[in-house]
């Protein structure tokens, strides 16, 4: 069986099942439609913190039991929080998947949020934030996000602002959990070695007794049109300089998303949309590699965007060269973009860019865990047909589409240019 079975339970939980009988494994993902986009000022970072609290146990499964139980059965598990969503997964031997099913059904409603655990996790997350503040690309990326989004809640980093991490209470966290961790705000996805009819019956028995709730509140704050190019400089620890150039990018559901994906492959080398993992492809044939790295204007250049509900950013990241200045790399980047906007790319070059973009997409969808990942990930910003039609839609992109996308999205008036300068200036020189 290669297709996907989709069923909506009576409480609103969407279940997506895909049989794959290549190995005796099953991967289960539970996705919640809540992320940093749903956080008002004063509550930034709350979705990520709630994700951490979900590993602190329930009355039925204390935290000390969970890790050992998964490991003992030969499984692996983890969780992720992003702009638009939070997700939890377990990949288990097929005969042991019931442990994962019971675990996720239990913590959908019964997580305790013990005050001492909240205080302990506050310390952990603040330490995580402090560690990130020693990373140049975190500091630069956060400044870029702040500049690019003044109104839209994509403004802040997923981990949240330090002031909010200090001030949020147990009641704030528990209220967020109760508001968003609902079956009618979730998608359960499973891929692997099972029989659909039997698995659906087991999922229904575990999850359908869970009551649905009120449709969660959404922050609707569209970002105004940017009035002109913004430039910023961040100084901090380290010995390496960095340059980031962020342009407005279309949402994943916008047909232009696919043209920008081909632009990405052509300019900087194809990006992997699978945030969970997958194979990589060298970007040495890309235009920017030849224009910047081969000419020793910088050490590395990469580009990429994310599949998001609302328009986000396409960002180039350039690692500074010990000798040459970043303004030379920026000039080379601008020249390549201007070239794209004025000259039609040859069909052969577009075909090569599409081939590379298709290859990295396929690498990121090949194993059972990734198959289950894509079932739910695509649902967070579109639907599963977005995933199944992705390769075909890439193939439809023409040189004219690439020209139009470059002219539409890579405009200086709507970009943010950020420079990171290490404070260890003597070694940086």
Residue 280 has a pLDDT of: 62
The model's confidence at residue 427, banded by pLDDT at 50, 70 and 90, is: very low
Percent of the chain at pLDDT exceeding 90 = 87
For residues 352-379, give the mean pLDDT. 92
In 206-307, the DSSP E strands lie at: 230-236, 242-249, 298-304
Residue 323 has a pLDDT of: 80
Residue 186 has a pLDDT of: 98
Terminal C-alpha separation, the chain? 60
CB 30 within 8 A of CB 149: no
Q: In this predicted model, what pLDDT tens digit does every residue of 222-265 receive, in sequence order? A: 999 999 999 999 999 999 999 999 999 999 999 999 999 999 99
How far apart CA 53 and CA 66 sit, in angstroms, is 13
The model's confidence at residue 63, banded by pLDDT at 50, 70 and 90, is: confident
Is pLDDT above 50 for 428?
no
Q: How many CB atoms lie within 10 A of CB 68?
A: 9
Topology annotation, domain 230-428: Cytochrome Bc1 Complex; Chain A, domain 1 (3.30.830)
Q: In this predicted model, what pLDDT tens digit does every residue of 75-95 receive, in sequence order? A: 999 999 999 999 999 999 999
CB 93 within 8 A of CB 24: yes
For residues 15-22, give the mean pLDDT. 97
Percent of the chain at pLDDT exceeding 70 = 97
Is pLDDT above 80 for 300?
yes
For residues 163-191, give the mean pLDDT. 98
For residues 1-7, give the mean pLDDT. 81
Distances (CA, A) of 348 to 66, 258, 359, 394: 53, 18, 17, 15
Q: Rounded to two decimals, what is the model's pTM? A: 0.95
Mean pLDDT of all residues in the chain? 94
For every residue of 327-355, DSSP letters joined together read HHHHHHHHHHHHHHHHSPPPHHHHHHHHH
Coil, helix or strand at residue 377: helix
Intervals of CATH 3.30.830.10 along the chain:
5-207, 230-428
Is pLDDT above 50 for 309?
yes
Residue 362 has a pLDDT of: 86
For residues 51-59, give the mean pLDDT. 94
Tokens linked to 89: 């997964």
How far apart CA 253 and CA 307 sit, in angstroms, is 8
Residue 158: closest CA among 218, 82, 223: 82
Is pLDDT above 70 for 426?
no
Is pLDDT above 50 for 325?
yes
Is pLDDT above 60 for 217?
yes
Residue 366 has a pLDDT of: 81
Is pLDDT above 50 for 7?
yes
Class of domain 5-207: alpha beta
For residues 106-121, give the mean pLDDT. 96
When mean pLDDT is compared across 170-174, 195-199, 366-370, the lowest value belongs to 366-370
How far apart CA 366 and CA 348 sit, in angstroms, is 27
Q: In this predicted model, what pLDDT tens digit does every residue of 132-147 receive, in sequence order? A: 999 999 999 999 999 9
The model's confidence at residue 67, banded by pLDDT at 50, 70 and 90, is: confident
CB 118 within 8 A of CB 53: yes
From the number of C-beta atoms within 10 Å of its C-beta (0-12, 13-18, 19+), residue 12 rates as middle
Residue 318: closest CA among 137, 54, 106: 137
Is pLDDT above 70 for 337?
yes
How far apart CA 88 and CA 114 sit, in angstroms, is 21
**At which residue do the structure tokens 């961040």 appear?**
234
Residue 66 has a pLDDT of: 82
């Amino acid at each position: 069986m290669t297709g996907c079975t989709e069923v909506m339970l009576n409480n609103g939980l969407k279940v997506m099942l895909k049989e794959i009988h290549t190995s005796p494994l099953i991967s289960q993902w539970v996705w919640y439609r809540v992320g940093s986009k749903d956080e008002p000022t004063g509550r930034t970072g709350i979705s990520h913190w709630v994700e951490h609290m979900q590993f602190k146990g329930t009355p039925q499964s204390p935290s000390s039991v969970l890790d050992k139980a998964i490991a003992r059965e030969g499984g692996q598990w983890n969780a992720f929080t992003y702009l638009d969503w939070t997700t939890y997964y377990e990949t288990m031997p097929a005969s042991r998947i019931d442990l994962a099913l019971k675990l996720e059904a239990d913590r959908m409603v019964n997580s305790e949020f013990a005050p001492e655990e909240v205080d302990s996790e506050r310390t952990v997350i603040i330490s995580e934030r402090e560690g990130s503040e020693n990373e140049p690309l975190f500091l630069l990326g956060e400044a870029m996000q702040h500049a690019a989004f003044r109104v839209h809640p994509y403004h802040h980093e997923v981990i949240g602002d330090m002031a909010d991490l200090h001030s949020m209470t147990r009641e704030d966290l528990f209220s967020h959990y109760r508001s968003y961790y609902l079956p009618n705000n979730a998608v359960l996805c499973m891929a692997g070695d099972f029989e659909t009819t039997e698995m659906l019956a087991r999922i229904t028995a575990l999850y359908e007794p869970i009551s649905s709730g009120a449709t969660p509140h959404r922050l609707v704050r569209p970002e105004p049109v940017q009035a002109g190019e913004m430039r910023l400089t961040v100084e901090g620890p380290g010995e390496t300089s960095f340059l980031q150039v962020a342009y407005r990018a279309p949402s994943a559901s916008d047909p232009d998303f696919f043209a920008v994906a081909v632009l990405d492959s052509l300019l900087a080398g194809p990006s992997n949309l699978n945030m969970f993992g997958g194979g990589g492809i060298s970007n040495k044939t890309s235009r920017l590699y030849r224009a910047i790295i081969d000419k020793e204007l910088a050490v590395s250049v990469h580009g990429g965007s994310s599949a998001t509900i609302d328009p986000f950013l396409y960002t180039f990241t350039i690692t500074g060269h010990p000798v040459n200045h970043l303004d030379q790399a920026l000039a080379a980047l601008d020249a390549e973009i201007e070239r794209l906007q004025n000259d039609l790319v040859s069909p052969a070059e577009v075909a090569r860019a599409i081939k590379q973009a298709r290859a990295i997409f396929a690498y990121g969808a090949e194993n059972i865990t990734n198959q289950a990942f894509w079932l739910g990930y695509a649902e967070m910003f579109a639907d599963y047909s977005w995933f199944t039609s992705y390769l075909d839609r890439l193939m439809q992109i023409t040189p004219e589409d690439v020209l139009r996308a470059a002219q539409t999205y890579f405009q200086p008036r709507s970009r943010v240019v950020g420079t990171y300068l290490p404070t260890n200036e003597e070694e940086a020189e």
